[in-house]
Structure 1
Amino acid sequence: MTRIIADISVSLDGFVTGPDPGPESGLGRGGEALHTWAFSDDAEDRRILREGTVRSGAVVLGRHLFDLVDGPQGWDDTTGYGAGEVGRPAFVVVTSSPPESVRLTDLDWTFVTGGLPEAVAVARERAEAASSVSDEDLDVVLMGGGATIGSAFEAGLVDALSLHLAPVVLGSGTPLFTGGTPRTLVRRSVTPTSTATHLMYDVL
């Protein structure tokens, strides 16, 4: 069964970027510390990254994040989805205006202009199709940014929340949650490593 999993790194004070994120610094000042775990040699960090990549049948991201990963300072042959782990899921971008061109033409991009629920529905179809081919259950992963995941959470579109809690206090930046409808979570796993605490919750 395909689930919708929101997966994101967050600071101890609840930010998914540092202050002043922009085209040249997508994670803001100090924000690189949020993703130290993804490039770690820690065996548990590598396992969590690998398992998350393998389960991805489709990935949803917002237009701002797309502009960063497809921009000149974005993903390349050494960094990309899964930070070097093998994975080529379909990527579904929520946008009001598709780009005129794409730099990363070797990836499977779909641009959805009908809003986040439509993008999640398209991604679910892609993940279910990939599941049929691989004969195993694959999920839709919401990789962000923070506004996209926050909106999906608020809209009740998220089945599970995977947080990578980095041991850093950023002070300000882009918050993951900014209020909204209360939700009940059930903790399914906690994995501490040398660089992060990995938390998995079911969203009720």
Structure 2
Amino acid sequence: MTRVIADISVSLDGFVTGPNAGPDNGLGDGGEGLHTWVFSDDPDDQRMLHEATDRSGAVVLGRTLFDVVDGPGGWNDEIGYGAAEVGKPSFIVVTSTAPESVRLSELDWTFVTTGLRDAVAVARERAQAASIAKDRDLDAVLMGGGAVVGSAVSAGLVDTLVLHLAPILLGSGTPLFTGAAPRTLKQQSALVTSNTTHLIYTLD
């Protein structure tokens, strides 16, 4: 079964980037600590990363994050989706206008200009098609940024929320949830490693 999974790293004080984030400073000031687990030698961290990347049939990201990963200092042959995993699912970008050109032209990019709900629907269709082609269940994954994940959860578009809780306080930056309606999630699992706490919740 294809699920819609929101998967993002977050600080203890609720930020997914530090302050002053931008195309040349994707994680913001001090934000590198959010992704320490991604580059860790801890076998549990490596397993979490591999399993998530391996199950990604399609990936949704916002335009701000796209500009970071497609920028000169972004993804390359060694570090891409899933860090060193360099996965190559379909990528769906939520944007008001499509870019004039794409640096990472070898990847499968689709630019959706009609809103997040439509982008998630496209990602689910792509993931379902990939599941049939590979004869195994693959997911539609929302990788960020914070506004995309937070809005999707609030809009009821997400089946599973995966948070990688980094043991850092950023003080300010890009918050994950702002003005969200109160709700209770069902905790599915919690895995503590030397670098983070991997939390998985299901949403009714």
- Output the TM-score relative to the length of structure 1: 0.98
> Counterparts of 2:23 and 2:102 in 1: how far apart (Å)?
16
Equivalent-residue separation in structure 1 for 2:171 and 2:86 (angstroms): 34
Partner of 2:23: 23
Q: Is the 8 A contact 1:12 1:166 kept in 2?
A: yes
Gaps of 5+ in 1: none
2: distance between equivalents of 1:81 and 1:161? 18
Task: Please say if residues 166 and 195 of structure 2, whose CA atoms lie closer than 8 Å, have aligned partners that are also in contact.
Answer: yes
* One-letter amino acid of the structure 2 residue matched with residue 23 of structure 1: P
Residue deviations 1:54-108 (CA, integer Å, cap 9, x gap): 1100000000100000001111111110011152110000011000110001110
* 1:129 has 2:124 as partner: no
Give ranges in structure 2 of 5+ residues lacking alignment. Answer: none
Q: 1:123 offset after TM fit, Å?
A: 0.5
Alignment map for 1:16-55 (pairs within 5 Å):
16-55=16-55
The count of residues paired between Structure 1 and Structure 2 equals 204
Distance 1:91 1:119 in 2: 10
RMSD: 0.8
Moved segments of 4+, more than 4 Å = none
1:183–1:203 CA contact under 8 A, matched in 2: no
Once the 2 structures are TM-superposed, how far is the Cα of residue 183 of structure 1 from its aligned partner?
A: 2.3
Aligned equivalents of 2:135, 2:110: Cα separation in 1:
23
